[in-house]
Amino acid sequence: MINKKAVIVLSGGMDSVTTLAYAKDRGFDCYTITFNYGQRSLAEINSATYYSKKYNCIDHKIFNIDFTKFSNSALTNNKIEIVNDNDDEIPVTYVPMRNIIFLSIACSWAETNNVTDIFIGANAIDYSGYPDCRDNFLDSYEKMVNFGSKSGVEGNKFIIHRPLVAMKKNDIIKLGHSLGVNYLQTVSCYQATVDGKACGICESCLFRKKAFEENELADETLYI
């Protein structure tokens, strides 16, 4: 268990913070990486900084990548209204290739630091229909990255850990609480204020609210 190191993709939301706590609990010293990609909610980045310090991470990198230059997602384009979808379609908040790009930059940084354990809080149950959150995608990604990297080719295979992938939101909160996570600083809202207050009505807020309710826990969220 000595000197195990991991890179955690840390958005500052509940899932990624739970994933960080999980990795720490499993004995990993953690590097965290957060992407500033023109998302509406800069409060997420403050949350990521807060939890990186709280969990004594080796280094926290904030990486700028401007999706607004090549994508039309409502998450990065203020002109598109965020609406809640009640059907099975992929919603307007989908950002093409987001997790692929995030994982690849995380793996690049990991390889530079001789790290092969990557953690991502991707979740395919109470998710929003994003294809890049599914288990079979992550399997496929892991295979690909080991074909396409020095580390993988030389036999130091990357492992893409996705401990939450098959968990429901309320089980994620349950896990987090068992690990001592306090979610107050986490940001889930798609349109949170700069100081981290949530709208309470977007899809992501509704998932979160329901999860606290189902666990009969006080809702650790600041609303506007």
Binding site residues, its own copies, CB under 8 A: 61, 63-67, 69-72, 90, 94-101, 104-105, 107-109, 111-112, 131-132, 134, 136-137, 140-141, 143-145, 147-154
Q: Can you tell me whether residue 56 is helix, strand or coil?
A: coil
Q: Can you tell me whether residue 179 is helix, strand or coil?
A: coil
- Residues contacting residue 209 through CB under 8 Å, at least 6 positions apart: 200, 219, 221
Kindly tell me which of 107 and 181 has the beta carbon lying closer to its own copies.
107
- Distance from C-alpha of 40 to C-alpha of 193, rounded to nearest angstrom: 9
- Distance from C-alpha of 198 to C-alpha of 184, rounded to nearest angstrom: 11
Kindly tell me which of 17 and 124 has the beta carbon lying closer to its own copies.
124
- Distance from C-alpha of 169 to C-alpha of 79, rounded to nearest angstrom: 29
Tokens of 9: 């993709």
Query: How far apart are CB 24 and its own copies at their closest, in Å?
Result: 22
Kindly tell me which of 76 and 170 has the beta carbon lying closer to its own copies.
76
Kindly tell me which of 154 and 216 has the beta carbon lying closer to its own copies.
154
Query: How far apart are CB 73 and its own copies at their closest, in Å?
Result: 9
Kindly tell me which of 144 and 206 has the beta carbon lying closer to its own copies.
144
Query: How far apart are CB 72 and its own copies at their closest, in Å?
Result: 5
**Among 141, 91, 118, which Cα is nearest to 16's?**
118
**Among 11, 54, 8, 21, which Cα is nearest to 190's?**
11
